[in-house]
Amino acid sequence: MKELAIGIDLGGTNLKGCVMNRAGEILHLIRIPTEADKGGQRVLENILRLIGQLIQKQGAADSILGAGIGSPGFVDTDGTVLGGAENLPGWKGTRIYEPIREKHGLAATAGNDVTVTALAEFKFGAAKGMTNAVCLALGTGIGGGIVTNGHIYKGTHGMAGELGHICVETGGLQCTCGMKGCVEQYASATGIVKNAKLICDAVAENERTPFVDAVTTRPQSVTSKLVYDFVKKNDPIALRVHEYVCERLGRAVGAIFNTLAPDRLILGGGVMMAGQVIIDAVSRHSAKYCWPDIWKRCDIVAAQCGENAGVLGCGAMVFDEMG
């Protein structure tokens, strides 16, 4: 039995690749520039180059079962990129599997980058030992990943897991996807900043606090971290922003719980640097939007796999799908 897999995490700036074993131990790890601005063909060439470097590090491909790729957006069952990766111009339409097989003699599989992160958390992190899990990555946007009965769920044409586009506010804020009121527009880093500015502008005349002053005098410097720095100081308007965005996120989590009833929901991404304060608020608010018997059986926890979650998930996907 082949006991190793290659995992490739495709980011807008860097490609990260690893050779790993079934236990999740990384034997080799390499980073190279993605060169996304040079188009989809260059990105594919760099993936092929990275796989070659990893094989060379290992010494041979004999013990490698296959290569797994985690990509922004959607990848169809035949390895064709369908779209949804706006930070990778020209990536849509790229065929991933055939070039890997032709150049390196390896079978390949691919999935959405957050979907594979969910698998990493399921196999090696916050959902280890569970049966069903959901992951939400609160970053610039909100990505989602679903694991059911021990396997990642990709859905039709690899499009499952777009949980950031659950509508939580009818006629709400305009989303880049074309809809209005998506949870991404409230609880992502971008959404938190947007709502902090809206709330602070609305109260600026009557409720001046240090947080309001910081947001209204230096709007270009507002980040989700700044919001939560003031939450830690118990600034009343920062706390209002926190409750507002976590209430919207709680609506989405309640819908996820009612639909999938996972053992555990994992919150990751840069926003979660704020820590337990978000988990506590989302837990409290999600209870209002979920069947009670489901809610009390679903835990909400922070991600554990860290910066290598992407490559770990990609390698785990190889073992999961190829045996």
Residues 257 and 230 in one domain: yes
Q: For residue 144, is it within any domain?
A: yes
| pLDDT, position 323 | 85
Asked if 100 and 17 sit in the same domain, the reply is: yes
pLDDT over 80 at 33, yes or no: yes
Domain of 48, CATH number, reads 3.30.420.40
- 133 and 200 part of one domain: yes
Say yes or no: 31 and 155 in one domain: no
Within a domain: residue 118? no
Together in a domain, 139 and 285:
yes
Domain count, the chain: 2
Mean pLDDT of the chain: 96
Domain membership flag for residue 121 = no
The pLDDT value recorded for residue 85 is 82
For residue 262, give Cα distances in angstroms to 71, 72, 83, 253: 24, 24, 28, 11
Q: Is residue 285 part of a domain?
A: yes
Domain range spanning residue 134? Answer: 126-304
Q: Dihedrals φ, ψ of 255, to 5°? A: -65, -40
Average pLDDT over residues 90-114: 96
Give yes or no: residues 109 and 55 share one domain: yes
253 and 273 both lie in a single domain? yes
Classify residue 221 as exposed, middle or buried by CB count within 10 Å of its CB (0-12, 13-18, 19+). exposed
Task: State mean pLDDT over 249-276.
Answer: 97
Q: Is the pLDDT of residue 94 over 90?
A: yes
Percentage, residues of the chain above pLDDT 90? 96
**Percentage with pLDDT > 70 across the chain:** 100
- In a shared domain, residues 242 and 95: no
What confidence score (pLDDT) does residue 84 get? Answer: 80
- Pairing verdict, β 14-21 and 26-33: antiparallel
Q: Is 293 within a domain?
A: yes
Give pTM, 2 decimals. Answer: 0.93
Which pLDDT belongs to residue 83? 83
* Same-domain pairing of 300 and 315: no
Residue 93 lies in a domain: yes
- Where does the pLDDT of residue 65 fall: very low under 50, low under 70, confident under 90, or very high at 90 and above? very high
Residue 1 confidence (pLDDT) above 80:
no
Question: Given pLDDT bands bounded at 50, 70 and 90, which one contains residue 257?
Answer: very high
Work out the pLDDT band at 99, boundaries 50, 70, 90. very high
Cβ-contact 128, 110 below 8 angstroms? no
- Are the C-beta atoms of residues 130 and 124 closer than 8 Å to each other? no
Query: Are residues 251 and 294 located together in one domain of the fold?
Result: yes
Contact 69, 52 (CB under 8 A): no
The answer to whether position 119 is within a domain reads no
User: Are residues 299 and 174 part of one domain?
Assistant: yes
Same-domain status, 281 and 315:
no
* Three-class HEC string of the chain: CCCEEEEEEECCCEEEEEEEECCCCEEEEEEEECCHHHCHHHHHHHHHHHHHHHHHHHCCCCCEEEEEEEECCEECCCCEEEECCCCCCCCCCCECHHHHHHHHCCCEEEEEHHHHHHHHHHHHCCCCCCCCEEEEEECCCEEEEEEECCEECCCHHHCCCCHHHCECCCCCCECCCCCECECHHHHCHHHHHHHHHHHHHHHCCCCCCHHHHHHHHCHHHCCHHHHHHHHHCCCHHHHHHHHHHHHHHHHHHHHHHHHHCCCEEEEECHHHHHCHHHHHHHHHHHHHHCCHHHHCCCEEEECCCHHHHHHHHHHHHHHHHHC
Rounded to an integer, the average pLDDT of 208-232 is 97
